[in-house]
Homo-oligomer: A and B are copies of this chain.
């Protein structure tokens, strides 16, 4: 699994490539913590190249959303969510927790 973080003026883009499972989810959490610990709470997560996400990955998304939305200081949004992962988010009841955008540019443009 590869993670690329890109800071923009109003938000940070985190692109993940590969599989997010119990083994790799901690690295995603670390990458997101680096951003929130820098005081940046507007985050776009590009899931276009993620082929699998287990509940360990969903947990990372929810934890980070909690951190970002606290004090109204920001938000995590998701871009290019593959259909299977969307079904997982839906089954978990997490769809209402995340704004989702078809493409990364629209997600960055939202902030």
Contact = CB atoms under 8 A, between A and B. Distances in A.
**Interface pairs A-B: 6 shortest CB-CB:** A8-B109, A105-B105, A108-B109, A104-B105, A108-B108, A105-B108
A10 B10 contact: yes
A94 interface: no
11 contacts: A6-B106, A6-B109, A8-B108, A8-B110, A9-B109, A10-B10, A10-B111, A13-B105, A13-B109, A105-B105, A108-B108
* A interface residue count range (under 10 / 10 to 19 / 20 to 34 / 35 or more): 10 to 19
A11 interface: yes
A74 B11 CA distance: 19
A38 B108 CA distance: 22
